[in-house]
Structure 1
Amino acid sequence: MIGYTLRFTLMTALLGIAIVAPARAEEAYDPWPGLVQDIFSNRPMNDGTDVIGIEMPYRAEDAAIVPVTLRSKLSAGDSRRIRSITLVIDRNPAPMAAKFELGTDANVTEISTRVRVNNYTDVHAVAELSDGQLYVAKTYVKASGGCSAPAVKNPEEARNRLGQMRYRQFAREDTPASRTREAQIMIGHPNNSGLQMDQVTHFYIPAFFVNQLRLTQDDSLVLAMEGGISISEDPNLRFTYVSNGAKHFRAEAKDTDGHVFRNAWDVEKSGT
């Protein structure tokens, strides 16, 4: 009886190790070094504490629409500027969520959007500066299932809204002489991730998302985005920039099916 009990105890312990070990191994695995190689060709990463900030909720209310804000932390006297910001959600199926190119003269200092988060994960923001160096900051988010979450809008409504754009300009507390603007672009698009299941057919819905967005004041670049499956349904960008006096704000978006969507707005008549 003692021998049987001992064997049972040892078997239970071994099974416990077999069950727990993979979970612990998964938690211990850090995908970031591999992502630095795959996305950034192993370029050196500098501490971005004083360069780029990333803000996300520690525990997301909805993993399919997690807010994220990227903010320049360069001091006013710094002669460098941020050329681009790459947003990486380490444990997502396609980790590179978006790459933002910042217009040379637009002085974009803040970008906010909404993303899908598929697992508890680190999220990195990598800024490339005009000195050619990369600077990284990170945060941690507790969320899961965002990439496979069903679409909020039904297919017919999504089709009717496809490519519709809205532009908003917000009042700021700056002095009237300030040329700084805060604006928002919203695009009607399902942004299917390829991991969502059709609730009727039970087949996976093919990936279909906005992969390019270009925003200009007249013909001068403000902000361009290369997007992936991690950008939430109905892509939404809110950002700051400096006006060059242009009368029109323009947007051009492309998706993975080759659709091209364009619109333009009179800046002076755009309200809050």
Structure 2
Amino acid sequence: MRPVIAAVIAALACGPAAADEPAANALTDSYIWTELRTELVGDVEIADGSAVFSVEAPYRANDAATVPVSIRQTDPSATIRGARVVIDENPAPLAAAFTFGPGMAPLDMELRVRVNQYSNLRVIADTDRGHLMAGRFVKASGGCSAPATRDPEQALAAMGQMRLKHFGEAPAMSTPRREAQIMIRHPNYSGLQRDQVSQLFILAHFIDRLEVWQGDEMLFTMEGGISISENPVFRFSYTDNGAPTLRVLARDTEGNVFEQTLPKAGQS
């Protein structure tokens, strides 16, 4: 094949994809945000938070029902007390509201959300410097109505099971930061999904309160909505205070309470 022809073919193959992936994926203009902003934070001033924390999410999601979102603090001198994850175009835009304890600083956290249609995904952080916002634009659709991956009977039978995983070796006391992941079995039905047999809508049933503790120290709490994915997963870094376990308490909209004490890796 001639070099010129090969170059043209390569350009045609790579050009559109490259054009579709912005070099800096930022929030876009959103008329709906004007209403959401007042509803969520009122008249409080919100400043650009990109110098304090970053938000990472795929520009084009592989699975709209499990879109990974990472929040990473880039300025450790700031104090992030809490954060709201908002998906502008979702039926219930407020996906989650977090409160963070001191052990989560500097913040480094990942969760998975549903995205119902092309939308801004923004994080509004409550900090010692006021309310700060950063985010990404995500191309995804159908996440809130996507069928559950498990049969309803199986999902309910496993509901409330939890698993804790740590990454890397147990830290030395001089550098006590650890990275952990908590997975909770729960269908987290959005109310927009259909039973694949009866084709009737499945009633909304999701975790609306989550607490994670190490000993008597609260690491974080979450008030959740329908936009948190099925079988929620939270990956985060924290400062180990020496307690041998993490305690996780979850409550759902049906009044079920699930609580487990999970040994840390390297602890008996």
- 5 Å-filtered alignment, 1:61-72, equals 61-72=62-73
For residues 167 and 105 of structure 1, do their structure 2 counterparts lie closer, same or farther at Cα, with a shift above 3 Å needed?
Answer: closer
The whole-number CA distance in structure 2 between the counterparts of 1:110 and 1:236 is 14
For residues 28 and 185 of structure 1, do their structure 2 counterparts lie closer, same or farther at Cα, with a shift above 3 Å needed?
Answer: closer
Alignment partner of 1:167 is 2:168:
no
For residues 202 and 168 of structure 1, do their structure 2 counterparts lie closer, same or farther at Cα, with a shift above 3 Å needed?
Answer: same
The correspondence for 1:85, drawn from 61, 79, 83, is 83
Give SS of 2:246's match.
strand
- 5 Å-filtered alignment, 1:220-259, equals 220-259=217-256
Structure 2: runs of 5 or more not aligned: 1-27
Partner of residue 156, structure 1: 153
Deviations 1:149-182 (A, max 9, x none): 0000111210121000001111169777310010
The whole-number CA distance in structure 2 between the counterparts of 1:267 and 1:96 is 31
- 5 Å-filtered alignment, 1:186-265, equals 186-265=183-262
Counterpart residue type for residue 105 of structure 2: N
Aligned residues: 241
Please report the RMSD computed on the Cα atoms of aligned residues, expressed in angstroms.
Answer: 1.9
Counterpart residue type for residue 128 of structure 2: S
Give the conservation status (yes or no) of the 8 Å contact 1:69–1:113: yes
Identity %: 43
The whole-number CA distance in structure 1 between the counterparts of 2:170 and 2:47 is 34
For residues 219 and 197 of structure 1, do their structure 2 counterparts lie closer, same or farther at Cα, with a shift above 3 Å needed?
Answer: same
Structure 1: runs of 5 or more not aligned: 1-26
The worse-fitting range, judged by mean Cα deviation, of 234-243 and 169-178 is 169-178
The correspondence for 1:124, drawn from 122, 125, 132, is 122
Name which one, 1 or 2, has greater alpha-carbon Rg: 1
TM-score normalised over the length of structure 1: 0.84
Give SS of 1:31's match.
helix
Deviations 1:133-161 (A, max 9, x none): 10000210000000000000111210121
Cα deviation, residue 270, structure 1: 5.5
Partner of residue 42, structure 2: 41
TM-score normalised over the length of structure 2: 0.85
Give the conservation status (yes or no) of the 8 Å contact 1:169–1:270: no
